[in-house]
Chains A and B, each alone.
Chain A
Amino acid sequence: MSAQVMDNAAYDPVDGRSPLVLGAKDFHEITEIVAAPMEWKLPKAWFIALGFSLSLLGLLAVSVGYLVWEGTGIWGLNSPVNWGWAIVNFVFWVGIGHAGTLISAILFLFRQKWRTSINRFAEAMTIFAVACALIFPTIHVGRVWVIWWALPFPNQMDMWVNFRSPLLWDVFAVSVYGTVSALFWYTGLIPDLATMRDRAKNRIAQVMYGIFAIGWRGSNRHWQHYEKAYLILAGISTPLVLSVHTIVSFDFAVSQLPGWHTTIFPPYFVAGAIFSGFAMVLTLMIPARKLFGLERLVTVRHFENMAKIILLTGMLVGYAYAMEFFIAWYSGVIYEQYAFVNRAVGPYAWAYWIMIACNVISPQLFWFKKLRTNLWVLWIVSIFVNIGMWFERFVITVTSLHRDFMPSSWGYYSPTFWDVATFIGSFGLFFTLFTLFVRFLPIVAIAEVKTVMPEADPHYHPPEDGTAAEGGKH
């Protein structure tokens, strides 16, 4: 019995499975595929992308600068809608920042080997998304220069933070999450940075990669420590990734506001975060794979798996929407009932139905294998999910606030130019970081992908005729 029969990543006894790596001759070819874009002469397209991203980043700088100068009055916030796009954007970005750690940590603990081709990319996306998310609550405080008051440390003013506020828990949750995600990402990068160091053609690259590779030589002892560290970080990250969006959900759910105070919020927010995060991975990965020639490493099988997770989490989110509606009716509380009826038929019904169409209905296409293996369908649905998840946060935030308990204070919230500019600008930061990432770091985990190839098995025997093995194809 050959080793491949046991390895379900490569071989499936029922329907067969396409290999995780298509047609790579040997380990070295993987290195070549991934390292090539970092060694190309910089193409014009990259400069265009960077220029475009930087101009959006400039828009962010102007928007934030003007906000700091003028105050949050430049936004559309008003009574009763005191939380508007800033909080919507915060939750939107934090949500996107969940896929990376899910792929790296949870799929790792579940022995899902297909993660190796996409984890580096998704983790980078996570860190950049968390950076974008942090902007919004920071600038929302108005006086940004005293944001350090959010941290609890003894000071001469006898100021102390309010530990009872979930907004403060956010400070801890998101910053810890950002830190651990970055550590996890960096730990995984070390062997690949050493590879880049050893391949470097110029002195600057060699020194820079060398510094960050912290002396990695690939010895047996290095690998043992590395794998232990990776497992521990995966174990720590798993509860952490669940806790972050749980605490974000507390921002709403600890209140008494109808539409916000409901016990299913924590797992519902986590499911939604994974949903939106995977959608963003698809949105970025489909073009990136084409541009950087990664078709043999990121295969249709990877996309199909991601589509299935999107289908699953989309239905979990749909379950939560349905339970909210049912329990709002069942509770017999007229305020609860009104909040939900108002969502579906009130002034913001358009936003609600965009949310339902994008989040619940559009992923249903993924029931069909033909559709979930078609890259165009995948990409378009991923865009729908991104839009739908932004609207979900908009619906939760704005519709619950805009009709207060007192009809005399009812209002309609509209964003201003600066709300929109800040949000678009945050994409500038995201894309700028991404453009730099795809140029300077290996966007696929070189060392990890090699471990899922049939050749990684110590009992592997190359085929007699000397051709490349394509695991599983018997």
Chain B
Amino acid sequence: MSHGHHSMELKPEAIRLAENSTWRKLPMIAGIIGLASLAATMGLAGDDPKGALLSYLTALMFVISIGVGASFFVTIQFLTRAGWSVVVRRLMENLMAPLFLFIVLFIPILLNLDVIYKWTNPELQNPDSPYFDYLAVVKAPYLNESFFTGRSIFYLVALAAIGWFFYSRSTGQDESGDKEVTRKLQFLSAPAIMILALVSTFAAVDWVMTLDFHWFSTIFGVYWFAGSFLVALCTTILLVLGLKKSGLLDGVVTVEHYHDLGKLTFGFVVFWTYIAFSQYFLIWYANIPETTMWFGLRLDGTWSGASVLLALGHFVIPFAFLMPRTLKRIPLTLGIAAAWLVFMHYLDMYWLIMPTAHPEGPQPGLIDLTALLGVGGLYFAVFGWALGRRALIPEKDPRLPESLAFENF
């Protein structure tokens, strides 16, 4: 806690991108990479449209989870009237702003439900067909293309609306410094979190869990939430470190904020593990065929390597690595942990989705990379636009002084 001698004068060059800053090129570079990669993804799809669409879905679920995690972060900061996090909140808000993109980016999925999702096959409903599936029949009121599409549009619009609302209101405060804005966002954060919780739960269930429509798990929504929050934190850490490297945020984001972000990351590594373990352990122990087969696919044969890597890389290694206080306070080590966990979260999404395409084992290919660069490129192009448009921090937030002076003790 500061003892009152901190200078509150913010250097404008520390909190705003210079006209000639390399960061200003982000929208263009990322946008070009994104569009080119999406075109390449289409070209690479070739004669395996299902594999291509699932690679694309993996990229979508990975990138959208950054925006969803950021939305949870920002709304929780408002709900709890948090002070320490104000200097990093704007980056999270900039990560919320591009959520509207997914309304467009999901169109290829929604137009090809019959390629991706087995439950769309009408043969499953036909009692005379050899493919007749009792579960497809009883789940039909929920798992049918029109209801599924309607729900998906609802999730996407809700996420876009929450993302844009918090982004635009918070940036709107930059000039006026009106405390009413903070008050209003605090008030709206509670319903926003409730909507986010429901939307992210059912989006994860619909888009990912129903890939194997026989399988079910009540904790699945929480699992996806845990990974999303973690990847949003790690992305923010990497962005902060990148901006600092360019000489920005000098004297604004300090080692104390690294430390807190590191602690939260550590906490969410454990939380993700707790949820993942609960899901795995209970299914393994009860050993009911309907639910074990999902893990069976991932633990047998060549997918077992990915599962082991996930257990080690998403839990054991970062858990040990992020434990010491020092490593959370050194930019290099914190950055390594964050980058590693971003990669692990991608692996997690890959592990959830891709066994549907390649039950015989992982087949990472160029198309996975182009899909990721395509979705990620467009997402970070919008992020880059938001970054240059306003200050890098909410410069008139009433709690900013507390955040600037924040110290762990």
Contact = CB atoms under 8 A, between A and B. Distances in A.
B219 A3 contact: no
A458 to B, nearest CB: 7
B8, B179, B216, B275 interface centre (most CB from chain A within 10 Å): B216
Nearest to B182: A14
Contact of B81 (A14, A319, A457): A14
Chain A interface size, under 10 / 10 to 19 / 20 to 34 / 35 or more: 35 or more
Contacts of B81: 8, 12, 14
A264 B4 contact: no
Given A254-B282, A256-B286, A267 B399 contact: no
Nearest to B263: A109
A323 B217 CA distance: 9
7 contacts: A14-B179, A246-B274, A262-B282, A263-B220, A263-B283, A319-B201, A331-B216
Interface string A88-123: 000000000000000000000000000000000000
Given A14-B182, A267-B222, A323-B218, 14 more contacts: A5-B4, A5-B401, A5-B402, A6-B3, A6-B401, A8-B81, A13-B399, A239-B270, A250-B282, A255-B286, A256-B287, A266-B278, A330-B139, A333-B290
A6 B401 CA distance: 7
Contacts of B104: none
Contact of A3 (B4, B179, B194, B282): B4
B279 interface: yes
A108 B3 CA distance: 21
Nearest to A12: B81
A278 interface: no
B42 to A, nearest CB: 34
A99 to B, nearest CB: 19
Contact of A8 (B83, B201, B278): B83
Contacts of A211: none
Contacts of A6: 1-4, 401-402, 405
Contact of B222 (A2, A13, A261, A264): A264
Interface in B59-85: 81, 83
B401 A13 contact: yes
Interface string A327-351: 1001111000000000000000000
A35 interface: no
Contact of B3 (A3, A246, A253, A331): A3
A44 interface: no
Identify the 6 closest CB pairs spanning chains A and B, nearest first: A264-B218, A13-B398, A263-B219, A266-B278, A254-B285, A264-B219
Interface in B182-198: 182-183, 186, 194, 197
Contact of A327 (B5, B217, B222, B287): B217
A332 B141 CA distance: 11
Contacts of B366: none
Interface of B: 1-6, 8, 81, 83, 134-135, 138-139, 142, 179, 182-183, 186, 194, 197, 201, 205, 216-222, 270, 274-275, 278-279, 282-283, 285-288, 290, 398-399, 401-402, 405
A198 interface: no
A457 B405 CA distance: 15
Given A6-B405, A13-B398, A315-B194, A327 B282 contact: no
Interface string A1-37: 1110111100011110000000000000000000000
A13 B397 CA distance: 10
A262 B220 CA distance: 11
Nearest to A458: B3
B2 A256 contact: no
Nearest to B218: A264
A261 B282 contact: yes
Contacts of A253: 282, 286
A196 B346 CA distance: 57
Given A263-B278, A264-B218, A331-B216, A14 B183 contact: yes
